[in-house]
Amino acid sequence: MQKQLKAFSLLFYELFSFHRILLSVLMSVPLSISIAQPNLDLTDHTKISAKPIYVKQHHIHAFLPKDSEPIDDSSPSPDEDVLKDEIDTDISNETSTHEHIVSKGDAFSTILHQYDVEQVDIRQLIKIDIEMHHLQVGQKLSWTLNEGHQIEHLIWERSQSEKRYYDRTKEGFKVSILFGTGELYQKITKVVVNGSFINSAKFSGLNSQEIREVITALQWQIDFRKLHDGDYFEILTMHATLNGAKQHSDLLGVRFCNVSQDYYAIRAADGKFYDRNGSGLTSGFMRFPTFRKYRVSSPFNPRRKNPITGRIAPHKGVDFAVPIGTPVLSIGNGEVIVSTFSDTAGNYIAIRHGRQYMTRYMHLKTLFVKKGQKVKRGEYIALSGNTGRSTGPHIHFETWINNQAVNPLTARLPSMACLTGKELLVYLTRVKKVLFQLHKE
């Protein structure tokens, strides 16, 4: 009995003061009633039956205050935050379909893990094809996910003459390997802007994949929503055929020209785009939206379950337990697309970085930026708070890539990179060849 009282006492004092007061009042009501009724006969022969309720240790947290939003709460939909323009509406960007060019330091498991692919799928694919451990820079992976974040179909383009297909079956995955005689040829396409970039590019003969690659390559240098008639692009692509059939095209380099300046993006051997001097085209991202890393009070978990109801209640970000008034920083250069109040998220901000990335910051006290404002990496955007549906001071921080929430602590984010040494020399040789092609027009 003493052990039970001690456990209850510890649990009681873990509650916030308000909850302790409320619980004390509720417990005192029956006692007051019994004292007010002295004629109530509770003799020794009276039997009082009570059914004990057992709560598992890992369920206790469900009854205690948390430094995050309620477990069944949902944050505002990203569809409401993302700018809707011609690029979003005219170019399909299904969150279930992804592709990745292998870069230096990439591994098969880490590439797929950041998109929350089922770990069992990753293990099965590596088990049936041990070569997955030996990805090479420049190879391409593309895959399609189902609603359960399971891989339905994956393609590994190992070279111009070999492609491997992995299809889900009831027993696991089936592998098919296609070999053939491949041919390569280069093509220069000139796109002159006339009203809409998308329509101008399509009119010039580019397909949706090629248009997306151009946007991705130049997303950090120009705003595709603010082009002018007469601006033009010179685009160098490499086309591949296999057994006589066209397979795909890769963007090698692009030059954008307007009345005041030319912009370049040229693909290096590592699959990334750099300028003519080998400098990266992004300013890089910080990992945390604060000056230092604070305690994570609630981790990223897209499959989080309510321990009571058993329903899926995804937590699409990371909660950092911070004191109210802690400076909140933008993790990268971008444009503020939301700065407002929500019943659930409280004061919150959404920032778009290029065309692929978006970050969101919730439960803030004070907002320092407005919608449409440009911000720099490390710039103050707000002070942390406890607004909206929150039971403790914290920052709820989300990172989205291609309209899909990823783990902010593990996702591969753009870095401030530049080529050096032998890699730079090889790249500069490639630059000369690409520029020669681009300036032919």
pLDDT digits (tens, 9 = 90+) for 233-245: 999 998 877 666 6
Query: Mean pLDDT, to the nearest integer, of 277-301?
Result: 89
Query: Mean pLDDT, to the nearest integer, of 27-55?
Result: 46
Select the more confidently predicted residue: 140 or 245. 140
pLDDT band (50, 70, 90) for residue 62: very low
pLDDT at 260: 81
Q: How are beta strands 97-101 and 232-242 bridged, if at all?
A: unpaired
Q: Which of 38-42, 94-98, 215-219, 383-387 has the highest mean pLDDT?
A: 383-387
Residue 153 corresponds to which tokens in the numbers above? 């179909």
* Cα–Cα distance for residue pair 233/193, rounded to 1 Å: 8
pLDDT band (50, 70, 90) for residue 81: low
Reply yes or no on whether the pLDDT at 16 is more than 80: no
Reply yes or no on whether the pLDDT at 125 is more than 70: yes
What share of the chain has pLDDT > 70, as a percent?
A: 74
pLDDT at 46: 43
pLDDT at 78: 60
* Cα–Cα distance for residue pair 68/322, rounded to 1 Å: 11
pLDDT band (50, 70, 90) for residue 79: low
pLDDT tens string 290-333: 998 889 988 998 777 765 567 777 888 999 999 999 999 999 99
Select the more confidently predicted residue: 3 or 439. 439
Q: Identical fold at 91-179 and 285-406?
A: no
pLDDT tens string 342-372: 988 999 999 999 888 999 999 999 999 999 9
pLDDT band (50, 70, 90) for residue 203: very high
Comparing 17-31, 134-148, 257-271, the range with the smallest average pLDDT is: 17-31
pLDDT at 69: 53
Reply yes or no on whether the pLDDT at 281 is more than 70: yes
Query: Mean pLDDT, to the nearest integer, of 423-441?
Result: 88
pLDDT at 275: 92
Backbone φ, ψ for residue 112 (5° rounding):
-80, -30
* Cα–Cα distance for residue pair 66/72, rounded to 1 Å: 13
Query: Mean pLDDT, to the nearest integer, of 63-82?
Result: 53
pLDDT at 177: 84
Please, what is the average pLDDT of the chain? 79
Architecture of domain 91-179: Roll (3.10)
pLDDT tens string 410-422: 887 887 778 889 9
Architecture of domain 183-282+418-438: Roll (3.10)
Q: 316 burial class (0-12, 13-18, 19+ CB within 10 angstroms)?
A: buried
Reply yes or no on whether the pLDDT at 118 is more than 60: yes
CATH top-level class of 285-406: mainly beta
Q: Report the 3 state secondary structure along the chain.
A: CHHHHHHHHHHHHCCCHHHHHHHHHHHHHHHHHHHCCCCCCCCCCCCCCCCCCCCCHHHHHHHCCCCCCCCCCCCCCHHHHCCCCHHHHHCCCCCCEEEEECCCCCCHHHHHHCCCCCHHHHHHHHHHCHHHHHCCCCCEEEEEECCCCCEEEEEEEEECCEEEEEEEECCEEEEEEEECCEEEEEEEEEEECCCCHHHHHHHCCCCHHHHHHHHHHHCCCCCHHHCCCCCEEEEEEEEEEECCEEEEEEEEEEEEECCCCEEEEEECCCCCEECCCCEECCCCCCCCCCCCCCCEEECCECCCECCCCCCECCECCEEECCCCCCEEECCCCEEEEEEEEECCCEEEEEEEECCCEEEEEEEEEEECCCCCCEECCCCEEEEEECCCCCCCCEEEEEEEECCEEECCCCCCCCCCCECCHHHHHHHHHHHHHHHHHHCCC
Domains in the chain: boundaries: 2-37+51-63, 91-179, 183-282+418-438, 285-406
